Amino acid sequence: MISQILKKVVDGVKPTFDKGGKLSFLHSLFDAVETLLFVPDTVTKKGAHIRDAVDLKRSLIVVVLALVPALLFGMYNTGLQHFRAVGDVAAEASIWGCWWYGFVRMLPLILVSYVVGLGIEVAFAQRRGHEVTEGYFVTGMLIPLIMPIDVPLWMVALAVAFSVIIGKEVFGGSGMNIFNPALLARAFVFFAYTPFISGDKVWIRGAGKGGEYIDGFSGATPLTQLGENAEQMLANANVWDWIVGTIPGSIGETSVIAIAIGAVIMLATGVASWRIMLSVVAGGWLTGLLFNAIGASPVMDMPAYYHLLLGGFAFGAVFMATDPVTAAQTNVGKVVVGFLIGVIAVLIRVVNPGYPEGMMLAILFMNAMAPLVDHVVVGFNVRRRLSGKLTKGRA
Amino acid sequence: MGTTKSKNWQYFLGPLSKDNPVIVQVLGICSALAVTAQLKPAFVMTLSVVVVTAFANLIMSLLRKGVPGRIRIIVQLVVIAFLVILVDQVLKAFVYDVSKQLSVYVGLIITNCILMGRVEAFALSNKPWPALVDGAANGVGYGIILLMLGFVRELLGSGSLWGVRVIPDEWYIQNGGFYANNGLMMLPPMALVLVGIIIWVHRSSKSNKDLIEK
């Protein structure tokens, strides 16, 4: 009923935006809204990641849906961590209160991300005369989820502008980018405004502004604690908290359960590749085991599966490494790239004292390597077919 | 006379935009990324390179008929190295702190492709006066880009210009404001991105459409 009315309205104003119409300069914006509301009868054709006969917006909406559990939990956890920090036991107990607190703080981040990102996308689409590319739907949701709650909004805006313009538009828009745009935005903040995205002050709302804490409360993430004082952190390890996600961290990355629900949604609909997810986890876990075998320091001795639960490992494996644009395209390539992401992430965590977390850098690095891996895999396949199968067939 | 004058004028204008050594020929990128974190070293580097390119071109143009083709490269190197050592000593004597900041990059002017490029491509086949103009112009063209990078990087990266604080203290977050310096600006990768943006803007102008590779 509503959809029919909506359709009538949209079809009614359509001529205004078509070529020659009064508002034809806003054509790409209209097109974006129309295809968002109704499944278009056209199929997306351009872009390195197109492997399906549906419009790209449909598959991206599945990813956004898969992000919802992590988003909702992130909001709840924001409130929970804040009330814990100030010692407000009554407020901490109220799930709804915690969630609402986080929701109010989270909303500006999401709005800034979408307004700036889509604004730039629309501007570029207008100038170049093509439709607004849909890739930003997912990116716009991912960026707030991988930021600390207290990051200043103008930094988010700047990071979004950098990642959309330098990371995506200069390469030719959605589907042509080398690096995952959301991670690029985070890397921008990480290197440009390091104090606002690392340390023990930023992960809890209000901490950076001299908030009053109860004694003995630390806002450091488990990985930061691991880097600073491994023995103490391992002695206080609470695996169940890490799985549920009631720990300080970037907004969406803490809860392994919420991320796992997202993973199930994406795998069931076939939007994400199980090969990548599995090989990232395998790479991280086996590297952890390898360090266990060396065992030269308390950090190396940490049980290997801890790595999979801490920091951005789960979030990166499920939502970042599987990005169809920047991941490898061949099946063998997916496994190789995924595995190396896991290896490098754990390697950075354990060996490099400068960075407590390695997932972001590992994924960005392997984004750059993915085309090379694909090239080798394809070349190998070509050689194998030329030498073996074909001659056998002839004989 | 009039034609030679306008020709020299062309020699001078070319490297400033249409034939710029950094953003069109993509030479001298290494030092352009390394010394531009602040405006002052960028400026001193610019002066040094202008002096060296101008006089290397002049000297090689004067010598062009006396140097056998087979050993010209080694002669060029001697001339350039002589000039660079001269510049290096002057910097050490008069602006020691900047010389320290520039460190190895003054010595590396010798390997700056702009120098050998101009000497080979221009000085060896032109008269001294045009050669001097061409050398100086290429140095200036290189310097314009360096100064742009130095300006943006120092302003956004350290909040100062020429070592003087420009952005008010009370703007900073630690003083209750909203602003923070962009640490990425201090890193060479961002300088490369900035060079890319300059190239992008430069080639979007109507008169430079022919520079765009198909």
Q: Do B187 and A188 touch (CB under 8 A)?
A: no
CB contact under 8 A, A191 and B183: yes
Q: Does A194 touch chain B (CB under 8 A)?
A: yes
Residue A193 touches chain B, beta carbons under 8 Å = yes
Tell me whether A166 touches chain B (CB under 8 Å): yes
> How far apart, in whole angstroms, are the C-alpha atoms of residue A319 and residue A301?
28
Q: How far apart are CA B27 and CA A282, in angstroms?
A: 45
Q: How far is A193 from chain B (nearest CA, A)?
A: 6
Say whether residue A171 is in contact with chain B using an 8 A CB cutoff: no
CA angle A326, B189, B107 (to 5 degrees): 145
Task: Tell me the shortest Cα–Cα distance from A86 to chain B, in angstroms.
Answer: 21
CA dist., res. A134 & res. A121, Å (int): 9
- Give the helix, strand, coil percentages of chain A, each rounded to 5: 70, 0, 30
Residue of chain B with shortest Cα separation from A188: B184
Residues A342 and A321: their CA atoms lie apart, in Å, by 10
Is any Cβ of chain B less than 8 angstroms from the Cβ of A108? no
Q: Decide: A307 and A346 in contact? Cβ < 8 Å.
A: yes
Per-position pLDDT tens, chain A of length 395: 666 777 777 777 776 666 666 666 666 666 666 666 665 655 555 555 554 545 566 678 888 899 999 999 999 999 998 888 887 778 888 889 999 999 999 999 999 999 999 999 888 888 877 777 677 888 999 999 999 988 889 999 999 999 999 988 888 877 788 899 999 999 999 999 988 888 777 787 765 555 556 666 667 788 888 877 778 888 878 888 889 988 888 898 999 999 999 999 999 988 888 999 999 999 999 999 999 998 888 888 888 898 899 888 999 999 999 988 888 889 999 999 999 999 999 999 888 877 878 899 999 999 999 999 999 999 998 998 888 755 555 44
Local structure of residue A254 (DSSP, 8 states):
S
Distance from CA of B182 to the nearest CA of A (A): 5
> Band of the pLDDT at B46, cuts 50, 70, 90?
very high
Domain that holds residue B202: 2-140+149-211
Domain spans in chain A, listed from the N-terminal domain onward: 56-383
Among B173, B184, B197, select the one facing A191 at the smallest CB separation: B184
User: Hey, is B165 helix, strand or coil?
Assistant: strand
Looking at residue A39, the DSSP 8-state letter turns out to be -
**Residues making up chain A, counted from first to last:** 395
Q: Does A161 touch chain B (CB under 8 A)?
A: no
Of A170, A193, A195, the CB nearest to B182: A193
Q: Is the pLDDT of residue B188 over 50?
A: yes
Q: Which pTM does this prediction carry? A: 0.84
Query: What pLDDT band is residue B210 in, cutting at 50, 70 and 90?
Result: confident
What pLDDT is attached to residue A357?
A: 83
CA gap A27, A37 in Å, rounded: 15
Domain count, chain B: 1
- Helix residue ranges, H only, A1-55: 2-17, 27-37
Per-residue model confidence as pLDDT tens digits over B101-123: 887 888 888 888 888 888 888 88
Please give the pLDDT value at position B121.
87
Contact A191 B187 (CB under 8 A): yes
Spatial separation of the C-alpha atoms in residues A106 and A68, rounded to whole Å: 13
Q: Which of B153, B158, B182 to mutate to test the interface with A (most CBs of A within 10 A)?
A: B182
What's the longest Cα–Cα distance across chain A? 81
DSSP A146: T
Which residue did the predictor score with more confidence, B89 or A212?
B89
Binary contact (A191, B193; C-beta < 8 A): no
Q: How far is B154 from chain A (nearest CA, A)?
A: 13
Put simply, the answer to whether B185 touches A192 (Cβ < 8 Å) is yes
Q: How far is B183 from chain A (nearest CA, A)?
A: 4
Q: Do B183 and A188 touch (CB under 8 A)?
A: no
pLDDT at residue number A367: 93
Task: Report the gap between the CA of A243 and the closest CA in chain B (Å).
Answer: 34
Tell me how close the Cα of A206 comes to any Cα of chain B, in angstroms: 13
A128 close to B (CB below 8 A): no
pLDDT in tens, B153-167: 999 988 888 888 888
Distance CA A3, CA B160 (A): 56
* Yes or no, beta carbons of A192 and B183 under 8 Å apart: yes
> Which residues, numbered 138 to 157 in chain A, qualify as contacts with chain B under a Cβ-Cβ cut-off of 8 Å?
152, 154-155
Contact status of A184 with chain B (Cβ, < 8 Å)? no
Mutate which of A191, A198, A201, A361 to test chain B, going by most B C-beta atoms within 10 A?
A191
Taking CA atoms, what residue in A is nearest to B200? A170
pLDDT of residue A55: 55
Which of B139 and A27 is assigned the larger pLDDT?
B139
Residue B207 pLDDT > 50, yes or no? Answer: yes
Distance (Å) from the C-alpha of residue B191 to the closest C-alpha of chain A? 13
Contact A195 B180 (CB under 8 A): yes
Query: SS3 sequence, A215-243?
Result: CCCCCCCHHHHHHHCHHHHHHCCCHHHHH
Interface mutation target, options B172, B173, B203, chain A, most CBs of A under 10 Å? B173
d(CA A63, CA A149): 22
Predicted-complex ipTM score: 0.84
pLDDT recorded at residue A145: 93
